[in-house]
Every structure is written in C-alpha cells, then in structure tokens.
Amino acid sequence: MYKVDIGKKILIANEEYARKNSRFLAKRKKLCLNMISSPGSGKTTILIRTISELKDKIKIGVIEGDIQTDIDAERIRAATSAVVQINTNGSCHLSAAQVCGALENLPTDDLDLIFIENVGNLVCPSAFELGEAGKIVVLSVAEGDDKPAKYPSIFAKSKVLLINKIDMLGAGVQVDFDVEKVKADARRLNKDIEIFPVSAKTGEGMSSWYGWLTESVGNLRL
C-alpha cells in the first residue's frame, strides 16, 4: 500500500462552472442573486411582487429551480416573460452547470438583474456556488425563530435575510416568532447581513428591500 497526497477541492467541476457564470455576468454588468429558503417560505410570491413593483426601474429575469413541474415558472410568467425553468428531477439543489445553460436561454442583454430561485431546501443549496453575486435567504415567520441557530450555513453565507409573512405576526394568529432574536442570531453568524422584515402578501416592508436592490443594481451600472 502507498498513499498519494491530492489536496484538491472535490467540487472543482461545479466551481469552474460557477466562475464561468460569474465572468459571463460581470462582463455584461448584470446582478445575479441566488434565493434560498425552505419550501413554502414565499420566494415565488416575493419575486412576483418585486418584479411587478420595480418594472419601471429594473428589468428582472428569473431562473426557476424546482425538483419537478413548471408551476413556479408559470406564476412568474404573469410578471415577466424572462423566465427559464430548470427541473432537477430529484436533486435537492441547483448546480452551476444547470445555471450556465439557463443563462444562455435568458434574454440577458435586456435585463439588469437575474434572480435564481433555488430548490426549496435550507441545507444543500448553500453548499453549491452558482456564480451569483450574493445569496438571499428567506425565512417565513411560520417556520419558527430557531432557524438561524439550527441551519447556520445559509445565514452565515447570505448578503440579505428577508423575514417574510410578517403580516401573520399582527393578525391574531398564534405564531411564536421573535424577530429580534432572529436578527441577533443571524448577525452573530454574519455581522454584515442586511435584514428586511417583509410581507410579500400585503407589501409591508418591501420598500426597504427594493431600496437595497435598486442600490445594488445601480452600483453595477457605474
């Protein structure tokens, strides 16, 4: 028996595609954000409202990742025609190679911002870089306020935390969710994370999120 030292990254193939995507986007000065959350946190509803309300300022396209069906792409299509569906057929996350193919099928030159809506899963997608400029994690209040502590990786790696469905907190519904605790736990993992409590349903809090998006897109245009 003998041993050979390798010392190589295992996900090198994914990282090479991620770098390719990142170069493609940087060359065209397009902002790309990778949206990650549990299933049912409201990613698609947030996107539809964001695309519609910012349509005069920012042209947004979407790469929609789901295990199966194009239900979400159809919903997004009501707000923008620039949407590409990826079906992972069982895989729990999007890979950079899949995103590379999807970018070729989007009218990228006509867009300012591309959202990647990842497969609903709070663990696996955070381990795969896609070439995005930043990750957006969505946590809805119905999921509980212990999630940053239980799933630290995605909160540590994200630029923005959207706390969604805050309309439920004041609606007389019994939801045990302490917004301040979530903010403190998330900032313990990631001191620079931007946090916006929102309701994509009522529109509450969305203007601060739009402000961050508009500024981020503006910085790229410079």
DSSP 33: E
Mark 110-139 with x for binding to another protein (rule: CB under 8 A) and - for no binding. Answer: -------------xx-xxx-----------
Q: What are the Cα distances from residue 164, in Å, to 29, 46, 52, 60, 75?
A: 29, 8, 18, 20, 19
Cα 102 from Cα 87, distance rounded (Å): 11
- CA-wise closest residue to 165 among 201, 205, 207: 201
Least distance (Å) between residue 201 CB and another protein: 30
**DSSP assignment of 71-109:** HHHHHHHTT-S-EEEEE-TT-SS--HHHHHHHHHTS-GG
Residue 61 or 148 with smaller CB distance to another protein? 148
149, 169, 179, 220: which one binds another protein (CB under 8 A): 149
Binding of another protein by 221 (CB under 8 A): no
50, 95, 140, 216: which one binds another protein (CB under 8 A): 95
Binding of another protein by 91 (CB under 8 A): yes
Residue 78 or 123 with smaller CB distance to another protein? 123
Chain positions contacting another protein, by CB under 8 A: 1-14, 91-93, 95, 123-124, 126-128, 149, 152-153, 156-157, 188-191
